[in-house]
């Protein structure tokens, strides 16, 4: 499996995002995932009858026949915790990494046409993440040039994750400088 990357350099510019999606669709991708706030990419995928993965919130209504799912974010618990700590004088500036366990991240409902066996696999992997038996940032992790970046069993720290300036094996593309 290969993953091709196109940069739109925007969080919300539907026209630019759609053009980036079309450039990948023209290359023959069979699944299109977007990391932007508009549904333009998954709508472009739906026009070509290609599976689509959105971002941030449940985007299924924008491409109901070809939608898979997407990550979704709920910053509410973090904001409540932060406001309470400001109010009681205990707030300190720090990096924050919310998780599924804390209710910050989750998987949006799966699309109506995602096969039942795939839904089972996704739910199983989600439970492994929640119970701590699977960590996507645990080795072995190999970069796109074949270099082992993290050995079997070694988990990346938050700082290492944030400092990643390379793609993993199977990704085609470059990270802009």
pLDDT at 1 over 90: no
- Average pLDDT value for residue range 4-30: 95
Q: CB atoms < 10 A from the CB of 84, how many?
A: 11
Residue with tokens 């366990």: 101
Average pLDDT for 101-106: 92
The per-residue pLDDT of the chain, averaged, comes to: 95
Indicate the SS3 state at residue 96: coil
| CA–centroid distance for 110 within its chain | 14
Instruction: Map residue 38 onto helix, strand or coil.
Output: coil
State mean pLDDT over 29-46.
Answer: 96
Region 69-93: mean pLDDT is: 95
- pLDDT score for 113: 98
User: The pTM is what?
Assistant: 0.88
> What strands lie across the sheet with 51-53, from one edge to the other?
31-33, 51-53, 67-69
pLDDT at 36: 92
Report how far residue 148's alpha carbon sits from residue 171's, in angstroms, rounded to the nearest whole number: 15
Tokens of 143: 């970069």
For the segment 53-58, the average pLDDT, to the nearest whole number, is: 94
Supply the pLDDT for residue 172.
Answer: 93
- Sign of the Cα torsion 112, 114, 120, 123 reads negative
Within 10 angstroms of residue 20's Cβ, the number of other Cβ atoms is: 23
Whether the predicted pLDDT of 98 surpasses 90: no
Is a pLDDT exceeding 90 seen at residue 95?
A: no
Task: Determine contact, residues 18/46, Cβ cutoff 8 Å.
Answer: no
Q: Residue 172 has what DSSP assignment? A: E
Alpha-carbon span 167 to 145, nearest angstrom: 9
| Predicted local distance difference test score (pLDDT) of residue 39 | 96
| 112, pLDDT greater than 90 | yes
pLDDT band at 97 (very low <50, low <70, confident <90, very high): confident
Confidence of residue 148 (pLDDT cuts 50, 70, 90): very high
pLDDT value of position 96: 86
Q: pLDDT at residue 177 above 90?
A: no
């Amino acid at each position: 499996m290969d993953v091709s990357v196109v940069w739109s350099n925007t969080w919300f510019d539907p026209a630019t995002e759609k053009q980036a999606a079309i450039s990948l669709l023209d290359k023959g991708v069979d699944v299109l995932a977007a990391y932007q706030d508009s549904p333009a990419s998954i709508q472009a995928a739906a026009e070509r009858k290609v599976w689509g993965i959105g971002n941030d919130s449940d985007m299924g209504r924008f491409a109901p026949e070809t939608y898979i799912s997407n990550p979704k974010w709920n910053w509410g618990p973090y904001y409540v915790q932060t406001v309470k700590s400001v109010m009681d004088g205990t707030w300190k500036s720090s990096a924050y990494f919310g998780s599924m366990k804390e209710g910050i991240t989750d998987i949006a409902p799966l699309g109506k046409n995602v096969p039942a066996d795939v839904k089972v696999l996704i739910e199983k992997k989600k439970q492994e993440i929640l119970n701590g038996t699977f960590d996507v940032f645990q080795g072995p992790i190999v970069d796109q040039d074949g270099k082992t970046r993290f050995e079997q069993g070694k988990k990346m720290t938050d700082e290492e994750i944030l400092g990643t300036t390379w793609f993993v094996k199977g990704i085609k593309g470059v990270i802009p400088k």
